[in-house]
Amino acid sequence: MKKALFFFLLLIGDIAEAQNNNYNIIWTTQSNNSSESMPCGGGDIGMNVWVEKGQLFIYIARSGNFDENNALLKSGRIRVNLSPNPFAGNTFKQELHLQEGYLTAEGENNGVKAAVKIWAEVYDPIVHIDINSNRSITAEVTYESWRYQDRILTARENFANSWKWAAPKDNIGRKDVVGFDKNSVLFYHHNQEQTILDITVAQQKLESVKEQLYNPLRKLAFGGYFEGKNFIPAGTSDGMYVDIDFKGWKLKSKTAAKSHSLTLYFHTAQVESIDAWKKSLDSLRQKTSAVFKTAFKRTQQYWKEFWNRSFIRIDESHSTSEAWEIGRNFQLFRYMLACNAKGHWPTKFNGGLLTVDPIFTDSSNKKLTPDYRNWGGGLHTMQNQRLVYFPTIKNGDWDVLQSQLEFYFRILKNAELRTKVYWDHEGACFTEQMENYGLPDYAEYGTDRPADYNPGVEYNAWLEYTWDTVFEFCLMMLEEQRYTGKDISTFIPFIESCLKFFDEHYQYLAKERGRKPLDGDGKLILFPGSGAETFKMANNSTSTIAALQTILKRLLQLPPQYATPEKVKQWTALLQRIPPINFTSFSNHPVIAPAKTWERINNTESTQLYPVFPWGIYGVGKPGLDTAINTWLYDTNVVKFKSHIGWKQDNIWAARLGLADDAWKYTSAKLKNSGRRFPAFWGPGFDWVPDHNWGGSGMIGLQEMLMQVDDKKILLFPAWDKNRNVHFKLNAPYNTTVEAELKDGKLINLIVLPEARKQDVQVLLKE
């Protein structure tokens, strides 16, 4: 009977265990290709792992691998062959050990059993491949590269870099340097002096300040060493994977053994000489060899602490239910974000570090290398990025958030220089689509722009005047202070620079049109503006007004060390210059308007609901909730735009409005199994696979259904059906954690730490 059950499970394929909080993903059949891979990683390394036709494959990506074209390149592919081959039989198991942050692949064939453990260190950029078997076997492990030669990039392939559709003819993707170095494989890419940044600076008329601009691409070197204990070079190979040619450098074990261990060491730095880069890489190898035995223990401790910060588990006793899957997939996606917790660069919304061969995302993308993703590599679309990072707040994942905030700090000077050069006033002008060096994308800026067009404005129907997204990241900075008490003294000048741009720029524009810088009520005239990429040529965009009002009010609520009397006076005066939010009506119902006026609709974003999220002006228990709900119900554009796909936020708005049924409808549609082998590889949506802003918006919606906060007020279950069992732990302001368990319609457990904060909790359960 047991044997029959075992073989039945083999036939149905994938198994996911659900004992208590065990959300491990287990596969008992091998994969067909890279699209059926599992994620694995840590620190700033993301891997896709799969076993195909008896061979184990690993795609490895590391944060910050930007080439001259500003594409985000993978670090390579590893192929593992074992002999005798345990993966050639019928017994197979691949498992993501979620709580521990590592992955194993096990197989048995003709009495030979073997297990391969793959894991990344959290505190150093190192990947380990550990092989153990019951009998002595040999291992041949190959480092494979499709960048072994210069490639002429196809027109479509340039959409993965910063040229997009405006690339020069026969644009080149430069080759890596790969070869044997004693018993190791050394691989690296060293950018040239000139990169696309230089072309962009000239295009955007910033040559006068070029030497002052932050430049992360010039002479950037990235790569590493691949080696194994008792492994030696075994020649090269070549071949095709899917439809892309590659060359391989083989390492083979000197003798058959029951245990084999291989390691990849990575290093990224801007260096004049590659010798300096190699020296630093060698130092990493020497340093880690002394602490090799403790590295796994330290990494395990990190993951233990990570999972103790927060969790959401739904319907734990029914592991086949969709509700249970929603809770599991929330945890899976959180793990995917944590693979870049220590990254120097933020996780990209369009695939993060976990993209695979593009033909499996879009079948029309033939002959494109595994480096391809849509919407660029170094280019960051900030409306999308914000959805990746807002969930970190209630999860308590402040380490994950830092790379996104530091991204902005690094490019602040460039944004301020743009303002000074173009308009000769102060403040940081951050655009919606923004390169990792803080300038608009070369193609999106407009290669066909009229000669006399304002050089500070993108010649782009979607992006023109879309400058307010930065305030959502300002909000994240302020939230970190409120939640943790962190000293944000260094954040304040950044936030003030963003505010100063809007204050000075719109007075500047008003004085170009007429005599006075303000309207008749003494308010800023926010024209021309934009409601995201949707409501264009807007006058007093509601999303901008809500942002300015909220950030200024939050500044005024800061402790006295930040809100000094002088600062309070400045911030109060600016707040008084911010115009009010706009309203209109549909079917005789008052609703929030997207702007005072607008000239056209270019996309499908309901910015009239931005005062609900992210800005929290309207919501459960707040004045004007009925007007916000009317907007959800009656505004014809809001109704038409509703969806769960990609970056859509309808699930979040429904939760913030206390609409439990709608919130579950859209959130469950977002977080249900992806339809791909790995449940949390959603997409492509509007972007790519895995779609990180799809997952991020799903996480936010689920958090908001369970807990909402308003300064010290904590609302539990504001948009939750009391008959849906759930156990969660989330973070709230003032160093507070809230753990609650709802079972069979009753709250059976509530732990609030510190206990004094329990008096601020209100339980709101929906029938």
**What is the per-residue pLDDT across 75-91, written as a single tens digit (0 to 9) for each?**
999 999 999 999 999 99
What's the pLDDT score for residue 289? 65
* CA-based nearest residue to 683, from 650, 651, 652, 646: 646
What's the pLDDT score for residue 73? 98
Whether pLDDT at 696 is above 60: yes
Q: Indicate the burial class of 597 (C-beta count within 10 angstroms; 0-12, 13-18, 19 or more).
A: middle
> Please, which pLDDT band fits residue 320 given cuts at 50, 70 and 90?
confident
* CA-based nearest residue to 542, from 518, 578, 507: 578
What's the pLDDT score for residue 756? 98
Query: What distances in angstroms separate CA 406 from CA 63, 346, 353, 477, one per listed residue?
Result: 14, 9, 18, 11
* Per-residue tokens: 453: 């067009």
CATH 2.70.98.50 fits 2-309, yes or no: yes
Q: What is the mean pLDDT of the chain?
A: 95
What's the pLDDT score for residue 521? 98
CA-to-CA distance for 698 and 719, rounded, in angstroms? 14
pLDDT in tens, 392-445: 999 999 999 999 999 999 999 999 999 999 999 999 999 999 999 999 999 999
pLDDT in tens, 522-553: 999 999 999 999 999 999 999 999 999 999 99
Coil, strand or helix: which one is 106? strand
Whether pLDDT at 57 is above 60: yes
Give me the amino acid identity at 46. Answer: G
pLDDT in tens, 114-161: 999 999 999 999 999 999 999 999 999 999 999 999 999 999 999 999
Q: Cβ distance 186 to 225 under 8 Å? A: yes
Quick one: average pLDDT of 695-702?
A: 98
Strand 761-763 to strand 713-716: parallel, antiparallel, or no bridges (unpaired)? parallel
Q: Phi and psi (nearest 5°) for 332? A: -60, -45
Coil, strand or helix: which one is 596? coil
What's the pLDDT score for residue 13? 39
Whether pLDDT at 561 is above 80: yes
What's the pLDDT score for residue 286? 86
CA-to-CA distance for 596 and 600, rounded, in angstroms? 13
Coil, strand or helix: which one is 586? strand
What's the pLDDT score for residue 705? 98
* Per-residue tokens: 715: 């609302």
> Please, which pLDDT band fits residue 287 given cuts at 50, 70 and 90?
confident
What's the pLDDT score for residue 8? 34
* CA-based nearest residue to 667, from 418, 240, 349, 312: 312
What's the pLDDT score for residue 9? 35
Whether pLDDT at 15 is above 60: no
pLDDT in tens, 711-744: 999 999 999 999 999 999 999 999 999 999 999 9
Q: Indicate the burial class of 443 (C-beta count within 10 angstroms; 0-12, 13-18, 19 or more).
A: buried
> Please, which pLDDT band fits residue 575 given cuts at 50, 70 and 90?
very high
What's the pLDDT score for residue 17? 35
pLDDT in tens, 479-525: 999 999 999 999 999 999 999 999 999 999 999 999 999 999 999 99
Q: Cβ distance 667 to 701 under 8 Å? A: yes
Please state the pTM of the whole predicted model: 0.96
Quick one: average pLDDT of 320-342?
A: 97
CATH 1.10.645.10 fits 338-763, yes or no: no
What's the pLDDT score for residue 21? 54
* Per-residue tokens: 77: 């592919």
Where in the chain is CATH 1.50.10.10? Answer: 338-763
Higher-scoring residue by pLDDT: 4, 557: 557
Whether pLDDT at 4 is above 90: no
Query: What distances in angstroms separate CA 487 from CA 402, 473, 477, 568, 705, one per listed residue?
Result: 14, 16, 10, 18, 30
> Please, which pLDDT band fits residue 197 given cuts at 50, 70 and 90?
very high
pLDDT in tens, 442-484: 999 999 999 999 999 999 999 999 999 999 999 999 999 999 9
Coil, strand or helix: which one is 648? coil
Run of H or E residues at 265: strand 257-270
CA-to-CA distance for 199 and 187, rounded, in angstroms? 28
Quick one: average pLDDT of 676-684?
A: 98
Percent of the chain with pLDDT strictly greater than 70 = 97
CA-to-CA distance for 360 and 32, rounded, in angstroms? 11
What's the pLDDT score for residue 332? 98
Where in the chain is CATH 2.70.98.50? Answer: 2-309
Whether pLDDT at 290 is above 70: no
Quick one: average pLDDT of 238-267?
A: 97
Whether cis (ω within 30° of 0) applies to the bond prior to 754 is yes
Whether pLDDT at 189 is above 60: yes
Percent of the chain with pLDDT strictly greater than 90 = 94
Give me the amino acid identity at 91. Answer: T
CA-to-CA distance for 693 and 678, rounded, in angstroms? 17
Quick one: average pLDDT of 667-695?
A: 98
